[in-house]
Amino acid sequence: MSGMASSVLDLAPVVPVVVIEDAADAVPLARALVAGGLPAIEVTLRTPAALDAIRAIAGEVPDAVVGAGTVIAPEQVGACVAAGARFLVSPGWTDALLTAMGASGVPFLPGVSTTSEVVALLERGLREMKFFPAQAAGGTAYLKSLAGPLPQARFCPTGGIGPATAPEYLSLPNVGCVGGSWMVPADAVAAGDWARIEELARAAAGLRDAGGLRDAGGTCR
């Protein structure tokens, strides 16, 4: 994740994975998440409003670090960066997609779900990646198994993770943060209930400390 003062994996314990149907919701939603302590926001490219949402957050919420998620085609990369995305996340990767993301000038997390994919990315000099779909692909047991032979790989597990399971992921030495959408429930977004989203974000931001996840030196990972 070169190119940022801090790795995306270290910005916050949880990266909200946000699906925005109406670009008008983007700014108040991002402000609520930032106020709750979650500055890194992944806006997925699953809706027609996604690029406008990224553009709005980048332009109007300076404390947010907005990224683009569900990047699956090389031609999407330039459009995301032009809109203001400061990091990119893919559910999986191909050589062409890796090349495009690597040339983008912004940090990126390519998605993996198998040991061979992790080894292939390490071979290319990439050490930080998304583990997706986390729960379906083996969850914390799988990541624990990877830590022995592949300790240099760090992950942002995403997919099926909620507030009950996030602390277990965050306790693993090879997990920098987790991705999830539980703090942005669709009904709250539809209702414009930004106070509820801020409250959920604050609870998510405290998960690392709540789990007692401190190393022997007493500092948070």
Give the active site residues.
42, 130
Query: With b meaning 16 or more CB within 10 Å and e meaning fewer, what string describes 93-112?
Result: beeebbebbeebebbbbbbb
State the sign of the Cα–Cα–Cα–Cα dihedral 218, 219, 220, 221. Answer: negative
E strands along the chain, which residues? Answer: 14-18, 40-44, 65-69, 88-89, 108-109, 111-112, 128-131, 154-157, 178-180
Please answer whether residues 17 and 43 qualify as being in contact, where contact means their C-beta atoms are separated by less than 8 angstroms: no
CA–CA distances in Å: residue 137 to residues 50, 129, 182, 215:
27, 14, 19, 27
Calculate the CA 209 to chain-centre distance: 19
State the sign of the Cα–Cα–Cα–Cα dihedral 50, 53, 55, 57. Answer: negative
Please answer whether residues 58 and 23 qualify as being in contact, where contact means their C-beta atoms are separated by less than 8 angstroms: no
Tokens of 199: 């409250």
